[in-house]
Chain A
Amino acid sequence: MHNSLLDDLALASPLREKSSRLKLALVAAALLVGVMSTSPVAPLFIALTMSFASIRLGKVPAGFYGKLLAPPLVFALLGTVVILLFFGSGPEIFSISLLGQSFGATAEGAELSILVLSRTISGTSCLFFLALTTPMVELFALLKGLRLPDSFVELSMMIYRYIFVFLEVAVGTTHAQAMRLGYDGLLRSIRSFSMMAGTLFIRSWEQGERLYTAMDARCYDGRLSLFEEKRRVEVQELLGACGYVAAITALAYITRGTSLI
């Protein structure tokens, strides 16, 4: 029932076992290079390699990946159209008239819009790579390693765990309400939903009490020093990551200023 959540794909991913620090560093570097590149070549290359890595190495179903990428892509395309029509100066490469208004696109505008689009895709695919190969449970250790405040990390761990418990309660309650026609009509839906939310609040309150008792029974003393999973970085992995970053940086440098048009 959970197989549509990104986190579940990440849990099943073979790349989960790899060091999350390395993955984070790699993604951060690729993101930076992609954004700083002045030509669309390097970002497109990054997008391609990151998608390839997610699908082939991370074993994400290609169809699912496509569906995942589609909404941000559509959004980016809409933005690109606006840039294409309203930005840039110089000779027009084409123009259309719509409702008596003439819209034109310049070469400069086209170049800019392609660059923005490629950067968007590259950034999105980088973040998807991280999200699809690094489940939350691995990120907690990383957050701790990055010296974030303990209470912040501990709270986020518990919130993460109980999201799923409450999700189940919420789904169950909603079904029970729907079964008795609780979502028949807008007004009734609003009423039912507010009742469900109220129940959920009280449930979570009670759950908190029970959780505390259960933790207390296992000698909880206010410090939540959780055991961390150790993920070792192999030399080849480190070299591979460095090589990749060097390659995309070089590509961005060589192709600087070139355009596809």
Chain B
Amino acid sequence: MATTLLETKGLRYVYPDGTPAIRGVDLRIEDGERIAFVGPNGSGKSTLFLLLNGTLRPTAGEVLFRGRPLQYDPRSLRETRRRVGIVFQNSDDQLFAPTVRQDVAFGPVNLGLPMEEVEERVEMALEGVGISGLKGRPPHHLSGGQKKRAAIAGVMAMEPEVMILDEPLSNLDPAGSEEVMELLEELSQRGTTIIISTHDVDLAYRWSDRVCLLADGMVMDEGRPEDIFGDPRHLSGSGLRQPLILEVYDEISKRDLAAFGKRPRTVSELVGHLSPPNLRWMKVPPETEVGERIHPEGIDSVGPGRDKSEEVLVIHLQGGRAVVETLDKSVRIGRVIVYDTDGGDPQALSSLLADERIDLVGVMGTKSRAFAEKNKIVSDIGSNVIDRTILRALCGEAVLVITNGGMVEHAKRRIEEYCRQSGMKIEVSVVGRGADRAGSTPVPAPANAGKRR
């Protein structure tokens, strides 16, 4: 049921000085998609974006928004720009007003909205990007990440149908990048179509639904990230490299060590490839032989969630360590509890937090992070939460994920999808919403009693 939102047909653009920038681009962008344009510097990404919102007028070809060609009279342009928002690469180009609040209000005021609604939208946008506390500040008092978020809020306040971000992570530190990416994830959950340009192949690979490889003003290749980045030959000459996860995966897979067919996009999926869960390395007593059954009690620092008294079969020996197979087939895997801060009962949360059996707490989403800060909840996992939660759960730990809104469903879905693909069983329960409360157990069974880090 995906409908085409933006489309270009034979798009060409030549700069006034005669340099061709876009040389025939045919694109289709579906509603709700997450697209990453990757390509070397000067490949025409920024120019393409300016063509998409009508700032530049194509030399040949056309841009269609919901099937209708863009018109270039002032009235239609206004409409286009309301629907197609651009966040520029350099935040200083965009933030011009004396205070953050005035800057965010600029767009809505230009749309001619009544003051009350402007106020409302500004509040929502600032809350959405998590910088409500900075609204009275002038932009030169903000850090790079805060400036970027203010710039995103300025576009968000116009409620565009598609948001285009030109190099959203340039000049940001890793923590700032993670925050911006999480924000984009939230926006995407709310149904906004998102287009980004980036050099960061790891990011494009992990985040996007579709990747467009741009070079010399042309689309060299497009498709699912696994396909685009999967073949190094596609990338040769594009100034890009393979994502690290894929590179590792390819090496594992060449050695016939990869388990299931789908290419991994996250660390947790990569780990899922590595080995059957009942095989592992451990230290063994000196006299052990292959084929022997031993009880490795007190020999190895046993990972959490694994009973110390289990019996294992030695399969392969190497320098005091051995590959062993766990004979007790029920491999213990941790649990995940998702707490919804939107409709949550604080009582349930404090009892969860006080619970000795919860090993880790992860906080996801700008609103929930503010919530956690207010309630002095220390989060062990602050970024890339779902992925790390899966990884910890695979090691037998119980993880409490604090989040809200659409992210609750999203987290649940991602984990369940992972379980389906890998054949592992991670139990997920949601706490805090009336609809789910009946079906979920607020307190998990002991995953690793008495241990808390």
**Which chain A residues have a beta carbon within 8 Å of chain B's beta carbons?**
2, 8, 11, 16, 135-137, 140, 157-158, 160-162, 164-165, 168, 207, 210-211, 213-221, 223, 225-227, 229
Q: Residues 50-89 of chain B: 1 if any A CB is under 8 Å from the residue's CB, otherwise 0?
A: 1001010000000000000000001000100110011010
Cα–Cα distance between A217 and B137 once the two chains are bound (Å)? 23
Looking at the assembled complex, report how far the CB atom of B432 sits from the nearest CB atom of chain A, in whole angstroms.
36
Q: Residues 81-112 of chain B: 1 if any A CB is under 8 Å from the residue's CB, otherwise 0?
A: 11001101010111111110110011101110
Residue of B82, B85, B94, B99 with most chain A CB atoms under a 10 A cut-off = B99
Are A229 and B136 touching (Cβ within 8 A)? yes
Given known pairs A217-B53, A217-B55, A218-B154, the reply for A227 and B102 (CB within 8 Å) is: yes
List chain A residues, Cβ under 8 A from B99.
Answer: 137, 229
Residue B141, interface by CB 8 Å: yes
Are B111 and A219 touching (Cβ within 8 A)? yes
List chain A residues, Cβ under 8 A from B55.
Answer: 213, 216-217
Are B158 and A218 touching (Cβ within 8 A)? yes
Are A216 and B81 touching (Cβ within 8 A)? yes
List chain A residues, Cβ under 8 A from B93.
Answer: 207, 210-211, 213-214
Looking at the assembled complex, report how far the CB atom of B394 sits from the nearest CB atom of chain A, in whole angstroms.
44
Given known pairs A211-B93, A213-B50, the reply for A221 and B110 (CB within 8 Å) is: yes
Cα–Cα distance between A81 and B122 once the two chains are bound (Å)? 57
Cα–Cα distance between A220 and B122 once the two chains are bound (Å)? 17
Are B138 and A11 touching (Cβ within 8 A)? yes
How many A-B pairs have beta carbons closer than 8 Å: the answer is 101
Cα–Cα distance between A101 and B94 once the two chains are bound (Å)? 66
Cα–Cα distance between A225 and B105 once the two chains are bound (Å)? 10
Cα–Cα distance between A157 and B99 once the two chains are bound (Å)? 10
List chain B residues, Cβ under 8 A from A160.
Answer: 98
List chain B residues, Cβ under 8 A from A210.
Answer: 88, 90, 93
Residue B118, interface by CB 8 Å: yes
Are B155 and A161 touching (Cβ within 8 A)? no
Cα–Cα distance between A26 and B106 once the two chains are bound (Å)? 32
Given known pairs A214-B88, A218-B107, the reply for A164 and B140 (CB within 8 Å) is: yes
List chain A residues, Cβ under 8 A from B92.
Answer: 165, 207
**Whose C-beta in chain B lies nearest to the C-beta of A169?**
B92
Residue of B97, B122, B158 with most chain A CB atoms under a 10 A cut-off = B97
Per the 8 Å Cβ criterion, residues 246-283 of B in contact with A are none
List chain A residues, Cβ under 8 A from B111.
Answer: 219
Are A218 and B96 touching (Cβ within 8 A)? no
Residue B225, interface by CB 8 Å: no
Cα–Cα distance between A212 and B111 once the two chains are bound (Å)? 17
List chain B residues, Cβ under 8 A from A165.
Answer: 92, 140
- B102 in complex: contacting residue of A213, A221, A226, CB < 8 Å: A226
**Whose C-beta in chain A lies nearest to the C-beta of B53?**
A217
Given known pairs A164-B138, A227-B101, the reply for A218 and B155 (CB within 8 Å) is: yes
List chain A residues, Cβ under 8 A from B137.
Answer: 11
Are B105 and A227 touching (Cβ within 8 A)? yes
Q: Which 8 A-B pairs have the closest CB atoms?
A: A227-B105, A164-B140, A137-B98, A219-B110, A218-B107, A210-B93, A214-B94, A217-B86
**Whose C-beta in chain B lies nearest to the C-beta of A209?**
B93
List chain A residues, Cβ under 8 A from B136.
Answer: 11, 16, 137, 229
Residue B139, interface by CB 8 Å: yes
Are A218 and B81 touching (Cβ within 8 A)? yes
Looking at the assembled complex, report how far the CB atom of B241 sits from the nearest CB atom of chain A, in whole angstroms.
30
Given known pairs A137-B138, A213-B55, A227-B118, the reply for A219 and B158 (CB within 8 Å) is: yes
Are A11 and B98 touching (Cβ within 8 A)? no
Looking at the assembled complex, report how far the CB atom of B194 sits from the nearest CB atom of chain A, in whole angstroms.
16
Are A229 and B101 touching (Cβ within 8 A)? yes
Looking at the assembled complex, report how far the CB atom of A171 sits from the nearest CB atom of chain B, in whole angstroms.
12
**Whose C-beta in chain B lies nearest to the C-beta of A163?**
B140
Given known pairs A213-B50, A227-B118, the reply for A161 and B97 (CB within 8 Å) is: yes
List chain B residues, Cβ under 8 A from A157.
Answer: 97-98
List chain A residues, Cβ under 8 A from B154.
Answer: 218
Cα–Cα distance between A244 and B86 once the two chains are bound (Å)? 51
List chain B residues, Cβ under 8 A from A16.
Answer: 136
Are B105 and A219 touching (Cβ within 8 A)? no
Cα–Cα distance between A61 and B292 once the two chains are bound (Å)? 76
Cα–Cα distance between A144 and B50 once the two chains are bound (Å)? 34
Are B96 and A215 touching (Cβ within 8 A)? yes
Cα–Cα distance between A217 and B55 once the two chains are bound (Å)? 7
Cα–Cα distance between A221 and B74 once the two chains are bound (Å)? 9
Looking at the assembled complex, report how far the CB atom of A215 sits from the nearest CB atom of chain B, in whole angstroms.
7
Cα–Cα distance between A223 and B110 once the two chains are bound (Å)? 8
Are B122 and A227 touching (Cβ within 8 A)? yes
**Whose C-beta in chain B lies nearest to the C-beta of A7?**
B138
Are A226 and B109 touching (Cβ within 8 A)? yes
Are A2 and B81 touching (Cβ within 8 A)? no
- B98 in complex: contacting residue of A161, A213, A219, CB < 8 Å: A161
List chain A residues, Cβ under 8 A from B139.
Answer: 161, 164
Cα–Cα distance between A8 and B90 once the two chains are bound (Å)? 23
Looking at the assembled complex, report how far the CB atom of A174 sits from the nearest CB atom of chain B, in whole angstroms.
18
Residue of B92, B137, B141 with most chain A CB atoms under a 10 A cut-off = B92
List chain B residues, Cβ under 8 A from A225.
Answer: 109-110
**Whose C-beta in chain B lies nearest to the C-beta of A221?**
B110
Given A136-B98, A218-B106, 9 new contacts (CB under 8 A): A158-B96, A161-B138, A216-B81, A218-B110, A218-B155, A219-B78, A219-B81, A225-B110, A227-B115
List chain A residues, Cβ under 8 A from B109.
Answer: 225-227
Cα–Cα distance between A219 and B111 once the two chains are bound (Å)? 7
List chain A residues, Cβ under 8 A from B105.
Answer: 226-227
26 sample A-B contacts, Cβ–Cβ < 8 Å, listed by A number: A2-B140, A2-B141, A8-B141, A11-B136, A11-B137, A11-B138, A137-B102, A157-B98, A160-B98, A161-B96, A161-B98, A161-B138, A164-B140, A213-B50, A213-B88, A214-B86, A215-B106, A218-B106, A218-B155, A219-B81, A219-B82, A219-B107, A221-B78, A221-B110, A227-B106, A229-B136
List chain B residues, Cβ under 8 A from A218.
Answer: 81, 85, 106-107, 110, 154-155, 158
List chain B residues, Cβ under 8 A from A220.
Answer: 106, 110
Cα–Cα distance between A215 and B88 once the two chains are bound (Å)? 11
Looking at the assembled complex, report how far the CB atom of A169 sits from the nearest CB atom of chain B, in whole angstroms.
10
